[in-house]
């Protein structure tokens, strides 16, 4: 069995949340924790909420900043994500719940943060209202979303390849995480939610995979995106076709790296 097929077989035996933790977190998401902590000015003794925490990449970074004397709470709608987070990160309070109906009293937290979840909420405006409701007056709200797809050249190339191989319905499904990559759209959401004095800033990030095969195998394992749309034969086609497409992003040694910036909503509560 080839390494890629072996990795796919291994991923099949794991839950989607475990795949997310083992593949997507190191490749994409772990790098953003310290940056959001800085943007939210998180420090010792604070009580912080991480909304749409996933398996806890940002939550764990916050936990390091609030010690000693502080606490962080992670909330996610997906019970599998919460189960992985609870197993990996002891000493953190985890809740299963929706961003649109946060199970906390008003003015509970010194900061509310969220990374790469707002794009997927059923009611984004209501989620922003809820995050502001549980925030103490004068304290920061920081939310990261993916910047526009055209600013992430590797993923833009993959979306175009999916269009060519399988049609625009598949390509557009892959584009969905980049749906809020527009400053004006984000500010309009904040206005609708009553989030005042919001600003949007761009921060640079980098996607890193061990190889082109590792990138494709990771997408194969993700049931929320391509793994839920393409079959084995289609992924075999994608694996072959992706090699020349990603050649501009391959570093010496075979690793793949390309930019994936984020837009940060930075606001406070009066």
Query: Which domain, by its residues, includes 46?
Result: 3-268
Q: Is 55 exposed, middle or buried (0-12, 13-18, 19+ CB in 10 A)?
A: buried
Domain containing residue 52: CATH number: 3.40.50.150
Better-scored residue on pLDDT, 59 or 268: 59
Phi, psi of 5 (to 5 degrees): -65, -40
Residues 78 and 17: beta-carbon distance below 8 Å: yes
Region 59-77: mean pLDDT is 97
* pLDDT tops 50 at residue 6: no
What is the rounded distance in angstroms from the CA atom of residue 210 to the CA atom of residue 98? Answer: 34
pLDDT of residue 90: 85
Phi, psi of 12 (to 5 degrees): -60, -30
* pLDDT tops 80 at residue 257: yes
In this structure, what is the dihedral angle of CA atoms 35, 225, 162, 160, given to the nearest 10 degrees? -30
Better-scored residue on pLDDT, 90 or 110: 110
What is the rounded distance in angstroms from the CA atom of residue 25 to the CA atom of residue 54? Answer: 10
Give the 3-state secondary structure of residue 131. Answer: helix
Contacts of residue 61, defined as CB under 8 A and 6 or more positions apart, other chains included, come to 33, 34, 36, 37
pLDDT, the chain, mean: 92
pLDDT digits (tens, 9 = 90+) for 178-216: 999 999 999 999 999 999 899 999 999 999 999 999 999
pLDDT digits (tens, 9 = 90+) for 51-63: 999 999 999 999 9
Better-scored residue on pLDDT, 220 or 140: 140
* pLDDT tops 90 at residue 262: yes
Beta bridge partners of 28: none
Region 39-50: mean pLDDT is 98
pLDDT of residue 224: 75
Region 58-71: mean pLDDT is 96
DSSP string, 221-233: H-TTTGGGT--HH
pLDDT of residue 100: 98
Structural domains of the chain, count: 1
pLDDT digits (tens, 9 = 90+) for 209-255: 999 999 999 888 877 778 889 999 999 999 999 999 999 999 999 99
């Amino acid at each position: 069995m080839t390494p890629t097929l072996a990795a796919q077989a291994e991923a099949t035996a794991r839950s989607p949340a475990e795949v997310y933790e083992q593949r997507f977190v190191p490749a994409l998401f772990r790098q953003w924790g310290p940056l959001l902590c800085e943007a939210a000015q998180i420090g010792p003794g604070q009580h912080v909420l991480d909304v749409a925490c996933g398996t806890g990449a940002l939550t764990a970074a916050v936990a390091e900043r609030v010690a000693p004397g502080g606490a962080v709470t992670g909330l996610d709608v997906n019970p599998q994500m919460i189960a992985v987070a609870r197993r990996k990160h002891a000493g953190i309070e985890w809740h299963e719940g929706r961003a649109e109906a946060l199970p906390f009293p008003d003015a509970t937290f010194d900061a509310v943060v969220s990374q790469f979840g707002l794009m997927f909420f059923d009611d984004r405006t209501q989620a922003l209202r809820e995050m502001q409701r549980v925030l103490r007056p004068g304290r920061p709200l920081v939310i990261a979303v993916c910047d526009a797809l055209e600013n992430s050249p590797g993923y833009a190339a993959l979306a175009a390849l999916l269009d060519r191989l399988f049609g625009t319905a598949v390509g557009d499904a892959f584009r969905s995480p980049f749906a809020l990559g527009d400053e004006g759209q984000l500010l309009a959401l904040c206005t609708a939610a009553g989030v005042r004095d919001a600003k949007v800033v761009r921060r640079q990030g980098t996607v890193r995979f061990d190889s082109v095969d590792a990138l494709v195998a990771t997408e194969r394992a993700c049931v929320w995106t391509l793994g839920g749309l393409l079959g084995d034969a289609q992924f075999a086609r994608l694996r072959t076709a992706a090699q020349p497409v990603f050649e501009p992003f391959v570093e010496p040694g075979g690793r793949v790296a390309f930019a994936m910036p984020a837009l940060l909503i930075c606001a406070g509560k009066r």
